[in-house]
């Protein structure tokens, strides 16, 4: 009975993932500024979340191992860490493809890219540690302790660091309001120069003409031979009107607030993809994708854990 249920669950997973692939290409709509690249969110974000869940599960098994000293718990911790690393690589690669389409480069050393690379290195060190110690009991003990510390860094590297950083192009606002989505403040009479991503912006003027409040902002970017000038504006109701594109990029400058009397503005770089999930079709496919990738990771974990358990059993038998 249990076997039949497990088989049905696997077939359902296969069909669900096929459905997600179909929906990703043919149900999810295109997005202004992103085109077809916006579809990658259906794979990219779930893989990143599965990564964090797998690393957390791995740390739980490591804690249990330190209490029980059971080889099977150690094997489970390794299996979960491996699945986490695999999905972390998926998230990095899909993110990199997105970056190429939207930012024009596969790797930009954006805080988000850098932090996920550091996370990969932290877990690469976990596997290196395991393979560098010969004594089995010592190896398992050291690896379990290291794994707990590695997991502590994970939420910081995945969720905190990229949002604390002043200059990320990653569209955080697609999912969470706040963080660094509030942009930077410039003051004609004070700090009139600021940085958005690797773009230096300088406020030249802010004035109201007719119904529009317009800011004149000079932009200096790497690779740009001449400084460019952008004029984002707000309409009479205080909502962004003109959102000019940064030269040679597909992200835009948006004016969030402006006070012409005080000579202050708040500007931000709006990455394409902001507000992506406000579309219902995208939202439901996205949620289904999270669930499906979660079950896929669980299945992969079980397969890998079974193999490692067998290996641990054989190791124990040989030791006797």
Q: Contact between 300 and another protein (CB under 8 A)?
A: yes
* Contact status: 100 vs another protein (CB under 8 A): no
Nearer to another protein, 5 or 26 (CB): 26
10 interacts with another protein by CB under 8 A: yes
Closest approach of Cβ 144 to another protein, in Å? Answer: 23
CA-nearest of 74, 75, 50 to 63 is 74
Site string for another protein, 21-60 (x = CB under 8 A): xx-xxx---------x------------------------
Does 288 bind another protein (CB under 8 A)? Our answer is no
**Distance from the Cα of residue 22 to its chain's centroid:** 23
- Provide the minimum distance between the beta carbon of 77 and another protein in the complex, in angstroms, as a whole number: 18
| Residue 9 makes contact with another protein by CB under 8 A | no
Smallest separation, CB 84 to another protein (Å)? 18
Smallest separation, CB 282 to another protein (Å): 16
Which residue stretch of 182-190, 223-231, 257-265, 304-312 sits at the interface with another protein (rule: CB under 8 A)? 304-312
In whole angstroms, the minimum distance from the beta carbon of 197 to another protein comes to: 29
Residue 312 Cβ vs another protein, minimum distance, rounded to whole Å: 10
Count the residues of the shown chain that bind another protein, applying the rule CB under 8 A.
21
310 binds another protein (CB under 8 A): yes
**DSSP string over the chain:** -HHHHHHHHHHHHHHHHHHHHHHHHHTSPPBTTTBGGGGGHHHHHHHHHHHHHHHHHHHHHHHHHHHH--HHHHHHHHHHHHHHHHHHHHHHHHHHHHHHHHTSSS----HHHHHHHHHHHHHHHHHHHHHH--SHHHHHHHHHHHHHHHHHHHHIIIIIHHHHSS---S-GGGT-SSGGGG-EEEETTS--EEEETTEEEEEEEEEEETTEEEEEEEEE-TT-SS-EEE--EE-TTS-B---PBPTTSS-EEEEEEEETTTTEEEEEEE-TTTTGGGSHHHHHHHHHHHHHHHHHHHHHHHHHHHHHHHHHHHHHHHH-
Q: Identify the residue among 14, 104, 248, 275 touching another protein (CB under 8 A).
A: 14
Least gap, CB of 1 to another protein (angstroms): 16
Tell me: does residue 136 bind another protein (CB under 8 A): no
Chain residues in the site for another protein (CB under 8 A) = 10, 14, 17-18, 21-22, 24-26, 36, 299-300, 302-303, 306-307, 309-310, 313-314, 317
């Amino acid at each position: 009975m249990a076997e039949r249920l497990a088989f049905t669950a696997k077939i359902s997973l296969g069909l669900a993932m096929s459905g997600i692939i179909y929906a990703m290409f043919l149900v999810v709509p295109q997005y202004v500024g992103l085109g077809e690249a916006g579809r990658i969110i259906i794979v990219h974000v779930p893989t990143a979340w599965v990564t964090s869940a797998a690393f957390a599960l791995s740390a739980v098994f490591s804690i249990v191992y330190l209490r029980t000293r059971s080889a099977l718990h150690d094997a489970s911790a390794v299996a979960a860490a491996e699945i986490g690393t695999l999905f972390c690589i998926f998230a990095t690669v899909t993110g990199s493809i997105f970056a190429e389409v939207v930012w024009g480069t596969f790797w930009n050393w954006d805080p988000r890219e850098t932090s996920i690379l550091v996370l990969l290195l932290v877990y690469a060190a976990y596997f290196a540690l395991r393979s560098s110690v010969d004594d089995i009991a010592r190896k398992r003990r050291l690896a379990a302790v290291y794994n707990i510390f590695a997991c502590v860094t994970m939420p910081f590297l995945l969720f905190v660091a990229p949002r604390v950083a002043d200059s990320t192009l990653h569209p955080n606002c697609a999912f969470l309001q706040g963080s660094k989505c509030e942009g930077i403040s410039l003051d004609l009479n004070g700090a009139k120069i600021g940085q958005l991503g690797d773009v230096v912006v300088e406020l030249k003027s802010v004035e109201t003409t007719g119904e529009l409040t317009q800011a004149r902002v000079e932009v200096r970017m790497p690779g740009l031979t001449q400084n460019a000038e952008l004029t984002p504006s707000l309409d009479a109701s205080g909502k962004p009107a003109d959102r000019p594109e940064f030269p040679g990029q597909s992200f835009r400058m948006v004016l969030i607030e402006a006070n012409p009397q005080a000579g202050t503005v708040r500007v931000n770089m709006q990455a394409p993809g902001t507000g992506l999930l406000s579309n219902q079709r995208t939202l439901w496919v996205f949620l289904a994708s999270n669930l499906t990738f979660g079950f896929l990771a669980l299945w992969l974990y079980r397969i890998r854990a079974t193999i490692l358990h067998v290996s641990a059993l054989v190791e124990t038998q040989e030791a006797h």
